[in-house]
Amino acid sequence: MLGSLSLGYRIYGLGQVWTAFFAPDGSEAATVIAGLRLPRALIAPLTGAALGVAGTVVQTLSRNRIASPDTLGLNGGAALAVVLASTVFGVQSLTGLSLAAALGALITSLVVFGVAASAGGLSPLKIVLVGVTFASLSHAVVEVVLTSNEAQLQQLLFWLSGAFVDRPMSHVTTGFPVIALGAMVAFALSRPLDALQADDATAQSLGVPLPLVRGLAFLAVALLTGAAVSMAGPVAFVGLVVPHAARHLVGLRHVWQLPASALVGALYALLADIVARFVIFPVEAPVGAVTAVVGAFVLLVLLRRRAA
């Protein structure tokens, strides 16, 4: 976070960061650090933590290590809900857009798992295929809506690529409670999620109420994904990469895996945000482009391992 506050188009020393917060003097450095860089230094780890936890829950629910909020279409559904709420219904408040994103993610999760179940069972492959199809459909509808609403196009185009820049502090104060609620629901499901890593019969024999646990897990994923998308846009592949790193560090028990996913996700998003400032310097790249490059590489490696 100190790096996020210090590094950018202009590099500030730690003394200037200290002055900006504890002895503000109205200088350009103090204004940039406290007014522009602080919100993104908070939004980035919040978004990364939310998507990391959501990705872990999604991979457990689908029993598929290449599943994520992206590949299941949840990011796309949340983004579509935000675009429709903004362009069709005129919603502009962050609270309204956050609710729209969470509702879009929840509806998408129900549709994806419902269609996969109706197609002959919740196999990991079917869930991913339905999710990728729905994600493509969502992105296509978003493009059509924005093309026909040029006034909203410029406003939402950079947001749709995923970015932490130019976000007000109100995003933090509104998004944090939603993320905290989703995280608490996910953490409360740690033991049932451990059992769900096996098949349904084994989970039921261990006393897991499957409909209730899956319903609460869907709710947690919807809250986490919706809040992240409303704050930063659909930042790609964080929910795919982070759970693998967390499992490598702490193992399969969700009581450790979920907090590890939150911490790794926060760190990953912050580092990606810093890299995005310099990758095409002096112009800043969308952070979603950085995470997409890394995520696509990881996905190819995982697919190759599964094929081998």
| pLDDT for 94 | 63
Structure tokens at 166: 């130019």
Domain annotation covers residue 232: yes
Domain annotation covers residue 117: yes
Domain annotation covers residue 43: no
Residue range(s) defining the domain that contains residue 2: 1-33
Of 244, 291, 302, 251, nearest to 268 by C-alpha is 291
Averaged pLDDT for residues 105-127? 76
Domain annotation covers residue 42: no
Q: What percent of the chain has pLDDT over 90?
A: 31
155: pLDDT strictly greater than 80: no
Structure tokens at 106: 């929840």
Alpha-carbon torsion, ordered 199, 248, 185, 236, to 10 deg: -100
Domain annotation covers residue 143: yes
| pLDDT for 251 | 92
Q: How confident is the model at residue 2 (pLDDT cuts 50, 70, 90)?
A: very high
| Tens-digit pLDDT profile for residues 78-111 | 888 888 888 888 777 766 777 787 788 878 888 8
Q: How confident is the model at residue 47 (pLDDT cuts 50, 70, 90)?
A: very high
308 vs 236, more confident: 236
| Tens-digit pLDDT profile for residues 236-278 | 889 999 999 999 999 999 999 999 999 999 999 999 999 999 9
Q: How confident is the model at residue 5 (pLDDT cuts 50, 70, 90)?
A: very high
| pLDDT for 159 | 65
| pLDDT for 18 | 92
| pLDDT for 293 | 87
CATH of the domain at 134: 1.10.3470.10
- What is the rounded CA–CA span in Å between residue 301 and residue 282? 32
Q: What percent of the chain has pLDDT over 70?
A: 92
Same domain, 22 and 60: no
